[in-house]
Amino acid sequence: MIALNDVALPLPDREICESIERDISIDRLQLLFSRSWPGFGMVGLATPTMYRPWPPLPVRLNRMYWPNGATRWGSGLWLIDAGGATDLHDSCFSADGSKQIDSTLVLSSEDDLGDEIEAVTIKKLIVFPLIPLYRVLKNDGSSDLGMYLLYVADKRITWWDIACPDFGISETAGVAWEDVFSDIGTALGLPSPGIDVDDVNSKYLEPSRAINLTGEPVPPVLDAACYNCGQRLIYKYDGTVATQNFKTALDAYKAERDGDLGALRTVRAGGPKFTDLL
């Protein structure tokens, strides 16, 4: 079952999804949701293999993507009918439609008897304005917008609109990696403790002056900071943010693989998540 703000979303079969994906250029909708190219000076900063556009192509309906890192964000493209759209309106956009309200998506798996096996709750999601797909003819001869595309994303998509702060890194300033992450957390407006930084090995020394990129978009700089001290950024399902070194990531993977859910979750259902701190 998939529910957004307690409103169940329809689960069309593969034939219906393929029909929509064939008739409508969903890949072109990526232009509505992708963020700006960071510019020549930022292309290889966070991803040594050059800039990667996001969301991924081809776009698929009824799938939730949840990457690590700051330059990409969790997102999903779902279907919803006119009645569900009406039910969602106030909880997503307020009664007068004047603002976006943080929303909650629940993805659950049930057995043949309808008993819940597992549920994943993702909080603080942004819901974008709905995109009408098809008109439905009514019995009285009138028509109505019967089906919409519903795009949801986490707050990382908004980080591209935030400018990188001045870290003040110099040969004598004594700025540590923890200071860099703290300044970025403040710029992003994250609640205390901001970015929960994993242990940084002292062998990585201090940040380079090259990371002084005041005014540039935050996501590539944040990913570069993680990359340069052996970590990756983790955006958790509750909206909190942390960095994760290799040992912590490996321990989390093993714990989930060897636990009850690791035995129950099939590869088709996503396999081990291993992206979250346990």
Main-chain phi, psi angles of 200, to 5 degrees: -100, 120
**Using CA atoms, how far apart are residues 9 and 150, in angstroms rounded to an integer?**
10
pLDDT at res. 28 = 73
Q: Considering the domain delimited by 161-256, tell me its CATH architecture.
A: 3-Layer(bab) Sandwich (3.55)
**Residue boundaries of the structural domains of the chain:** 2-159, 161-256
**Using CA atoms, how far apart are residues 169 and 223, in angstroms rounded to an integer?**
17
- The model's pTM is 0.84
Which has the higher per-residue pLDDT, 146 or 160? 160
86-96 confidence digits (pLDDT tens): 899 999 998 88
Please, which pLDDT band fits residue 238 given cuts at 50, 70 and 90?
very high
Nearest to 177 by CA among 194, 197, 191, 192: 197
Containing 23, the helix (H) or strand (E) segment is: helix 14-23
